[in-house]
Structure formats: structure tokens, C-alpha cells
Chain A
Amino acid sequence: MADKELLLHAEQIDKRFGPTHAVNHVTLDFYKGEVHCLIGENGSGKSTFTNMLTGILPIGSGTFTLEGKEIAPRNQIDANHHGISIVVQEQGTLDGLTVAENMFLGDEDQFMKNGIKNARAMVKKAQELLDSYGFNYIKASNPIENYTFEERKLIEIVKSTWFNPKILVVDETTTALSQDGRYELFKVINRVRDQGNCVIMIDHDMDIVMSMADEISILRDGNLVGTVQKDEVNVEKLKTLMVGREMNGKYYRTDWGASLAISMKNVSVPGQLDDVSLDLHKGEILGIGGLSECGMHEVGKALFGASYDRTGSVELADGTPINDINTAIDHSIAYTSKDRDNESLLINDSISDNISLPSLRDMGRVLSGRKIREFADKYAQEMSIKMVNTDQFVMALSGGNKQKVVLARWLGKQSNILLLDSPTRGIDIKVKSDIYNLLDDMRRQGKAILIISEEIAELIGMCDRILIMKDHKIEAELKRSEDLTDTEIIKYMI
């Protein structure tokens, strides 16, 4: 390490949330011109550590020293002024503002003169920056609501990097991006590194970690397990370091079922789906893949009766039409959205309420608090959710544990048809493996499972059939095969 120049030193960084010791006296060094990956299971303290560095959370105890000067950012903008920025895991832009206003939110002073904002100059600069990143199809003067989740993520990337930060934190961002979006993100990461700055990257995808990282630090239960050079390890070794035991990363199966569970015929949704038909069978895992805006995320909604202005039909094997969510739930259909915090969870509510919500209708007219708690406890334990108890608010859980809450809900409802959009988004390999095993068990029980995923390895490993979508239509159907490769799948996507 002698030839590397120290940029940031974290000394005994510590953070508690009530009884949870989220980060336990972590001491770490970050050097100039490197990509330093932080890996660990969900709830291992990675995001808490970087949130303290970037001013999102106050530092519990310990110090951050940047280029010899102690810093304690009060918020993200204060962190920016110290040369530190972050691209967060969830949506970090605000509705009601324009693209330009979002890009300079909290940092408008450069456009202010005597308290008056030069709105034109702000838009001009924002547009120049967007153009310089190659995103000239995004108009700085437009309301941010005009853009998709992925485009808004790209805007966040520009917002976080245009001022050449000394430290850029990329917190589990790849899962929100399609292959194209990831390419743009990696370009930016490499540029930051090549300029002699440091990227702290949190990612659960070990292939991405191995391709991007120079150094890798592993956290487990808030403790630093160690820091390794990329050349010293392989993926299996990293998994073992993360989880504390050896992992079987092979999800490949060789059997599947055939009798029909649900079908959609000639379904169109304006701007989302164009004449899509598919069958999902009992005991089958059907995968849907494609680039982010190909329409695949709408397939889950359409099957769940949650699409607006849908034409065509969605029917169960017995001919029951599924045209609304209540009918879907009554007929044992479960759906999890990609946008977990906004569409799947009651984020400001307890784990207990979240798990029991769809099952309340089965618990009689007068609800019993004890019954609800027992129900929630049972399925929370079954999913091994890391929590104090089920009264804990979902908001305080890590991404993976939130996803476990969503799955526990439908496990409790004993749904027979599961429509899972990005089921392992933002989830560490241990939980991922647990979820795969759970899905495989469910499939063996004869349940029909649809997985919509941007992770090609997941589709190849888990699915009996894979439908590739492009431009809102099904472009190809690929049968399960050991010879199926990423390249073959990507060929149909683009």
C-alpha cells in the first residue's frame, strides 16, 4: 500500500439504532485512484457507514479524515462541499421540480444574486452537463416526472459527479439500471477513478464487484471482517468471507411442470405492452427479461389486474378473468413490485402490519391483535428477517430484509401464483440464495412463479422458460438449457 496516496481515513466509526449495533467501530482507509467496494449481507452496515460519510445520517462516534482534515457532513449538500457525493439506492430526485432544479437542489447559490435566482442560467448549465454526459435527450427545463425511473437515476449520476467529487459513493445503483444504464454508470466510475479520486461502491453482484473493484472490504453484522485486494480473491472466497461459511452458488435446476395456471392473451397496455400473450404453468418458473423500458415490468401488473387501460384478457386455468387486484388476491395470486418502497411496502408501518395486510380478510370480521402478531411472527421467522420484533417499522430495515417482509406477506397468504418483479433487487447473495431455495421449494409444491428480472444469471439459473421482451413485445422464447449464455439472451434484448 506504500505507493498509494491516502485520501480518506475512517477511524472507529460507530452507529447504533436503538438495540441494533449497525456499525461497530469500523476503521478503514480509502486511497486515491481506486474503486473500493464494500460488500456484505443485507444489514451488515454498508449503507449506514456510507450514509454517515455523506451526511444522510449523523455520525454515531468516530471520525472521518479527508486529506488530513476531519469532516462531519451535516447533509448531502454539505458533503458535496467537502467533495463527497452519493448516488443512492432508491429514487433520489423529487417530483414537482424540473430536472435542473433537482440537479442543483440545495446548491442554488451559484445562480443567486441578491436573493434572486437566475433560472435561465441554471437550466443552461444543467443542460450543458447532461449533454456532456451524452444524455442530451433529457431536457433540463422539463418536469422530472416526465422521465422514467432509470432516466432519473442517470440524472442523479450527473448531479453527483459533475463537480468532480474526491469521493463518489455508489450505493447499490446497478440494480436500478438496465444494461445500457449500467454501461453509463461504469463509464462515470472509471472516469472518477482515472482522475485520481476514489469510488466507494456497494454492490451485491459479485461479478460487478470483481470487474470494477481494486480493493474490497467485507462487513458482517456491523463489523469489518477485512480488506482484500481484488487479485487475492475469487467470487467463492468473497462469498465465504461475507456469510462466514461456504456457499453453494449454483441455482441451476433440471425439472419443471406443465399444467396451466394463468394465461394472458393479446394484452396491450398503452405505451407499455403491445399484444402480449403468455402461459404460466403450475410447477413452472417463467422468466421475463429485457432492457428496462421494454415493458417487462408491466407484465406482472397486467397479470395481477393492476394495469390501467388494459385490453386483451388475463384468465386462470378455470377461465376466471383477472381484471382487478381484489379478484387476483382472492384467487391466490401474489405480486411484488420492482419499486419496493413505493409499491410493495407500507414503509411507515410495522413489519407485523406489512406481513398480515393481505391475510386480514381471512382472519374473520373481528380482528385479534394477538392472532395478527402470531401470524406475523411465524412468517417473519420463517423468512429469517433481521429485526428486534415485528413491531419494528419497515423503514428501519435494510433492502434485503424489506424484500423478505414482502415475500413473508405472500408466503403467509399461501399464494399459488407468484408474480415477482425483480425479487432479488438489492439483495445480498446469502438472502438471494435463501430466496432461490424458497422459490424452488414453492415450485416443487406446484406453485406457478413468474420472475421478471434484469439479472440475466438469475433468469438462466432459475427459469424453465425465458421470454425476452423488446419494444413492448415478446421478442423470443428460450427454453431452459445448460448451453444458454448471457450473450445469446442479450442478442434478443438489443
Chain B
Amino acid sequence: MQSFLKKARQSQFYGVALLILVTLIIWIIFWLLTNVINPGSFGQPDKMLTYLQRGLIYSVGACGFYFVVVQGLFDFSIGSMIILSELMSIAFIPQAGWFSVIVIPVLTGFVLGLVNGLVFKMLRIPSMIVTVGMSLIYEALSVWASGINGTTLQSEFSIFGSYPWNLVFALACFFVTGFIIKYTKIGTYSNAIGSNELTAKNMGVNVDKYKVIALTLTGTFCGAMAVLYLGYGTAQTPQTGMLSQSLNFLPLMGVFFGIAFKRYGHPIVAIVIGEFMVSMMLAGFIAIGVSTTVNQIVTGITVLLILALTTKRRNGAVVK
């Protein structure tokens, strides 16, 4: 038995199996609780599909964010990029139709991410500071964009807000991310830069270039997330005064899972399961009548506990 467990732990699927198991346990706990407190409010197949739908949306954003965090950078402009991408999508629908629903937000995200990257490279100040500054600019631009064609998506353009197109779109994004990580230099170099930037430089890695690429990818996937988010919500009001920051944190949750399970070789799968788990927990707490504030506290603690208990942590390893 012991040797079986040892062998299982060495398998690259161990991390994924562990996450699925934890998800199942959480589902059982909430299902039992809601059966006592509020029967029928949690865990039925249609509700599970809703949790998955939300999880998919944030997972797409997390895909791009992953490259930035793995390199040791950070991006505080995610929320503002998503909102501006959504409003740009709405703005150009009268002229461009479906092109504006799918391509314009992704393109907007790409341009904003590229601008973040270039400003970061030019100014040579920490990415956190650069992206906070840029976030304020993007928030102001979102007010301008909302004036072009309003803030509501016509219902005939909201197909990415439900199955099956949301799933198709999200799977395409996951496939692209997985491909970039495994089959391009970007994945390898991002890990190398995050591990030791100076050594990576000595190996001929153009560190500045790959940091710009990481920030650009973050923007691009924020644009992709905007496609799903707008389809799901069908409206987006502009946010100012850093209020867009609240949108940063759910994609970040997924990134935590991706980074923690990177060693097992399946960061994207970990991101998706992690986001689904968080989405399910948030819904579960609502179902048992926990207030939003307590809900956030308990969800935060639970995520930290799950990551602490399920990831391979080496004694004495430096954790940054």
C-alpha cells in the first residue's frame, strides 16, 4: 500500500487527482449542509453547470495572468483591461457585428497588454506600479468607450454567455495556453526567468522581450475573458477610482492553483479545477445563507488551506 502511494505521488496526474478529490469533498460537505439548512439550493446538475460556467470565465483570464505571475511579475490592470475590452466590443457592434463580439475585445486586450509591457520595459519600474498607473488610464478610457454605444450587449450577440459556445471558446483558450506553455519558448523562458533571471540572461534569453510577451499575453487573455464575461452578464458599466481592481482577484485565485500545481505538469487543468472549486464554494456559502463578507473570509481561508494541504511543499525551500 505504501509503495503504491509513493508511486502515485510521483505520477504527473497525482496533482489533478488530488484536486478532483478535494472538489468532490467540498461538494459533499456543501450538499449535506444545504440539505439540512436550505434543501435544493446547491449541487444539482444544472447548478453545477452554472458554477462551471463562472469558473470557465475566470479560468480564461487566469491563463494569461499565469505567464506574468510565473515570471515573478504582477499585473494590477486586469480588471480595467477586461472592462475596457467589453465596452470596446459593445462600441463597435453596430459597425462590425460578430467581429466586434469576438475579435475586438481580444484585440483590445492585446493592445493594452502590449502597452503595459512596453511601458514596463521603458520605465524600468516594478510591474505592480506600472500596471496600477495604467489601470487608472484604462478606467478613464472605459468611461469614454461607454459613451460610444452604451453599456448593454444586444441579446442576439450573447451566445458566449451560455453553453455550448462558452465551453467551446474557453476550451480553445485553454488549448492555446497549454500549447504556448509546452510547445513554444515562451513557456520554458517564463519558468527560467521566474527561477533565476540572471542565469536565464546568461543563457541568451532576452528577458525584457519575454516580460513584454507575458504582459501582452495577460492582456490578450483578459480580452478573451471579456468575450465570455460580457456574454454572461450582457452589460458592463465603466468603473473608476480603482473599482475595477475587484475583478483582478478571481482570475488570480486560478493562477494560485496553476502555480502551486505547476510541478505536476498540468497548470491549466489546475487553473480550471481551482476556479470551478472557488465558484462552487462561493455559491455554496450563499446557499447556506452566509453573508457576503463572511463568505469571502471563509472562501479565502479555504483556498489557502486547500493549497497548503494539497501541494508538494519542500521543507526548507525558499518561498517568495
- Could you give, for residues 303-320 of chain B, a 1 whenever the CB lies within 8 Å of some chain A CB and a 0 otherwise? 000000000001110100
Chain B residue total in the interface (Cβ 8 A):
24
> In the complex, what residues of A have CB within 8 A of residue B192's CB?
94, 96-97, 101, 105
B9 to A: closest C-beta gap in Å: 12
Rounded to whole Å, the gap between the CB of B44 and the closest CB of chain A is 40
Is A92 at the interface (CB under 8 A from chain B)? Answer: yes
- Contact at A106–B205, with CB atoms within 8 Å? yes
Closest A residue, CB atoms, query B259: A96
A97 cross-chain contacts in B, Cβ below 8 A = 188, 191-192, 195
Tell me the bound Cα distance from A75 to B263 in angstroms: 29
Given contacts A101-B188, A116-B183, contact A94 B196 (CB under 8 A): yes
With an 8 A cutoff between CB atoms, is B246 at the interface?
A: no
Please state if A94 and B195 are interface contacts (CB–CB under 8 Å): yes
Bound: A56/B202 CA distance, A: 6
| A105: chain B residues within 8 A (beta carbon) | 188, 192, 200, 203, 205
Pick the residue among B194, B201, B262 that contacts A75 (CB under 8 A): B201
Q: Is B11 an interface residue (CB 8 A)?
A: no
Tell me whether B202 and A119 are in contact (CB under 8 A): no
What's the nearest-Cβ distance from chain A to residue B95, in Å?
A: 33
Nearest residue in A to B191 (C-beta to C-beta)?
A96
Let me know if A308 is at the binding interface, CB within 8 A.
Answer: yes
Chain A 335-370: CB-based contact to B (< 8 A → 1; otherwise 0):
000000010000000000000000000000000000
Contact A117 B185 (CB under 8 A): yes
Binary CB contact string for chain B from 190 to 224 against chain A (1 if under 8 A, 0 otherwise)? 01101110011111110000000000000000000
Tally of A-B residue pairs with Cβ under 8 A? 66
A145 within 8 A of B: yes
A207 located at the interface, meaning its Cβ lies under 8 Å from any Cβ of chain B in the complex: no
Find residues 118-177 in chain A having any chain B CB closer than 8 Å to their own CB. 118-119, 143, 145
CA of A247 to CA of B28, assembled, Å: 75
Q: Does B184 contact A (CB under 8 A)?
A: yes
0/1 per residue, A362-400, Cβ < 8 Å to B? 000000000000000000000000000000000000000
Q: How far is the CB of A262 from chain B (nearest CB, A)?
A: 22
Say how far B96's CB is from chain A's closest CB, in angstroms.
Answer: 29
Taking CB atoms and an 8 Å cut-off, the chain B residues in 263-286 that contact chain A are: 263
Docked CA distance A145–B194 (Å):
14
Looking at the complex, which one of B183, B194, B195, B203 makes contact with A106 (CB distance below 8 Å)? B203
Q: Is the CB of B204 within 8 A of A96?
A: no
> Judging by beta carbons under 8 Å apart, are A119 and B203 in contact?
no
Q: Is the CB of B195 within 8 A of A143?
A: no
Q: A residues within 8 A CB of B203?
A: 75-77, 105-106
- Bound-state Cα–Cα, A76 to B198, Å: 12
A145 and B265 CA atoms in complex are apart in Å by 13
A96 to B70: give the CA distance in the assembly, Å.
Answer: 9
B171-189: CB near A (< 8 Å → 1, else 0) gives 0000000000011110010
A108 touches B202 (CB 8 A): no
Q: Which residues of A contact B314 (CB under 8 A)?
A: 145
Complex Cα gap A109–B153 (Å): 45
- Distance in angstroms from A146 CB to nearest chain B CB is 9
Q: Do residues A145 and B263 form an inter-chain contact, with CB atoms below 8 A?
A: yes
| A115 at interface, CB cutoff 8 A | yes
Assuming the contacts A105-B205, A145-B263, A308-B315, asked whether A94 and B184 have C-beta atoms less than 8 A apart, the reply is no
List 8 A–B pairs whose Cβ atoms lie within 8 Å, in order of A's numbering. A76-B203, A94-B196, A96-B262, A97-B188, A101-B191, A106-B204, A116-B184, A342-B318
Q: Interface residues, chain A, CB within 8 Å of chain B?
A: 55-56, 74-78, 92, 94-97, 101, 105-108, 112, 115-119, 143, 145, 306, 308-309, 342
